[in-house]
Chains A and B, each alone.
Chain A
Amino acid sequence: MGADTIDKVLMTGNEAMAEAGIRAGCRAYFGYPITPQNELLEYMSAHMPQAGGAFIQAESEIAAINMCYGASAAGVRTMTSSSSPGISLKMEGISYIAGADLPCVIVNVVRGGPGLGNIAPAQGDYFQATKGGGHGDYRMIVLGPSTIPEATEHVMLAFELADKYRGPVMILADGMLGQMMEPVVLPKPVDPATLPAKPWALTGAKGREPNIVTSFYLDPEELNMMDVKRESRYRQIEEQEVRYEEHETADATVVIAAYGSVARIARTVVKMARGEGIKLGLLRPISLWPFPYAPLRAIADRVDAILTVEMNAGQMVEDVRLAVAERAQTPFYGVLGGLVPTPKDILREVKRYAG
């Protein structure tokens, strides 16, 4: 029907994120099977070799993230993916990657937890992703896509940000986004040869002094210097890389704050609520770190309540409350265990604070 249909491909989120990775110029993927992200690994196993890149089904998530460390140190765009328990295993490696200033894209298709939990969608890894996760003073850019087309854009963006700021970037998806299907227009492929050179990469000390990739600085003064330098980069990220979306907030009296899959469900709730005369809006943080504190604060001054909805026991709500302080009510509605809230569930909750 429409002219754009030719370019649209119906894909699962997992497959789309894998294909987007290859199109972003990623030429090294290492992973380990875990539901609900398996399709990403499987897609890479078939397509990464075709693109001339390296694929290994590693012996563990720990091995996979450390293979990423090596491949990234060699100067190649590198990616891994997993789901919650596997991401926990990767956390040490992510800290090393941050400490060694290496770019790397990590996809977390979050599932129910803690422990083995289950394989259903959840958002219980928000703290882990945005507040540290691994050891030491480091930060990680975290993007929370809401739809599959957005997830593919985020993968492209994640590689750019990882290279620009030389650090790990996480796509915080969930089992719903990974498993569901939606038509996507795939981004134009990036030729890795056209990417900016990485003069720091380990390519052999030919005609130059040796390059060293390390996070080890025994001398406290020296480590302090490295940490402070990285901190200034983090401040720059906080200034330049905050991303969010406002939907119907101009006249709203109640605003939902939600990210990822929940945010797209909330979009439907906004439509339903407005059909009933409730002035509901949505603020959707897209970058979860850096978090959009300022936009939330601005909205808080003109609404009665900001209702945070998450598929967890209340994690992002802490950032919302930090932003809003006492400017508005900041109730929370969460579902646990891998359950997904339906539009009706959320609307019922909205009505408690509207009018």
Chain B
Amino acid sequence: MPVSTENMVKVFERPNSLNESQFSYCPGCHHGVVTRIVAQTIDELEIRERTVLVAPVGCSVSMYQWFRCDGTQASHGRACAVATGLKRVNPNLIVFTYQGDGDLAAIGTAESIHAANRGENITVIFINNQIYGMTGGQMAPTTLLGQWATSCPDGREGSLAGYPLRFAEMVAQLEAPVYVTRQSVYDQKRIMATTRAIMKAFRYQVEGKGYALVEVLTNCPTNWKMGPVEANRRLADEVVKTFPLGDLVDRGQSG
């Protein structure tokens, strides 16, 4: 029997800040979830018409093609420097970067840290999936010890390849950032928490409070060689032990 939609209420739709094109992320990847949350947040804060997104090099390199707001694309690792330039000359813009672990925490470490240290009034969304996605599964600065990657075929060995870099903790040591948090999206509860965190990060920028970093632990089923369910379980059971979830800094509450 056909279902009538006559009396149904539409409770979930494509955010207004996204256009009709499709994300280029792999099936089961968390990128799509986080990218959508960002779009929702822009809708809710009604800032689409003054938002500029800075796409990285990585899986979200062409992110600007999906959004109905102005956008640019930074050279590998330099998104925070590009965002700094945009925001400093036009403080009315809402500027955010969306970067992976290689972009933000390896090649772009200096730009990422120093934008945070200057307290640039920008929002940084940091996708930590512990691997290089776009280039095909090489080791990331956030790759767990023992984790396999195409460039550490025997698993990451700390004494040779260094240790998982806890970027949120590094930024939390600085004086300027107003909000630093690590979240994940492996279940509904975490998705809701990430949504609240991203909302807070953007709201602080709108209120002129300053720099916010939302690190999101995500999966990469393609390069982890796992199904999405198994990948989610790995995040919940294993990855969070190296990268604990929660707020590290929140100086935006008062005033």
Contacts and interface: CB of A to CB of B under 8 A. Distances in A.
* Direct contact between A and B judged by beta carbons closer than 8 A: yes
B111 A69 contact: no
B73 interface: yes
Interface in B145-195: none
A73 B53 CA distance: 12
A70 B70 contact: no
A67 B85 contact: yes
Given A63-B78, A71-B89, A93-B78, A210 B71 contact: yes
B234 interface: no
A156 to B, nearest CB: 20
A161 B54 CA distance: 27
Interface string B57-76: 00001101101111111110
A66 B73 contact: no
B51 interface: yes
Interface string B78-115: 10011111111110110000000000000000110110
B72 A67 contact: no
Contacts of B92: 204
Nearest to B65: A212
A212 B85 CA distance: 16
A202 B70 contact: yes
Contacts of A72: 85
Contacts of B247: none
A53 B61 CA distance: 30
B118 A74 contact: no
A71 B83 CA distance: 8
B85 A213 contact: no
B88 A28 contact: yes
Contacts of B238: none
A211 B72 CA distance: 8
Nearest to A30: B85
Contacts of B90: 74-76, 203
B110 A67 contact: no
B44 interface: no
Interface residues of A, number: 42
Given A62-B111, A204-B49, A218-B62, A74 B85 contact: yes
Contacts of B225: none
Contacts of B196: none
A216 B62 contact: yes
Contact of B88 (A54, A59, A96, A212): A54
A53 B89 CA distance: 7
A164 interface: no
Given A56-B118, A213-B72, A214-B72, A69 B82 contact: yes
A210 B82 contact: no
A224 interface: no
B50 interface: yes
Contacts of A241: none
B78 A204 contact: no
A210 B51 CA distance: 10
A243 B118 CA distance: 42
Contacts of B82: 66-67, 69-70, 73
Contacts of B70: 202-205, 210-212
A73 B87 CA distance: 11
Contact of B111 (A27, A66, A78, A211): A66
B38 interface: no
Contacts of B75: 66, 69, 92-93, 96
A70 B110 contact: no
Contacts of B118: 56
Contacts of A92: 75
B52 interface: yes
Given A54-B89, A62-B111, A70 B83 contact: yes
Nearest to B111: A63
Interface string A60-90: 1011101111111111101000000000000
B200 interface: no
B48 interface: yes
22 contacts: A56-B84, A56-B118, A58-B81, A58-B114, A59-B111, A62-B110, A63-B81, A63-B110, A69-B74, A70-B74, A71-B85, A74-B90, A75-B89, A92-B75, A100-B73, A202-B70, A202-B72, A202-B93, A204-B50, A204-B93, A210-B67, A214-B71
Interface of A: 27-28, 30, 53-54, 56, 58-60, 62-64, 66-76, 78, 92-93, 96, 100, 202-207, 210-216, 218
Given A63-B110, A204-B70, A204-B92, 7 more contacts: A67-B88, A68-B85, A74-B85, A202-B93, A210-B67, A210-B68, A214-B73
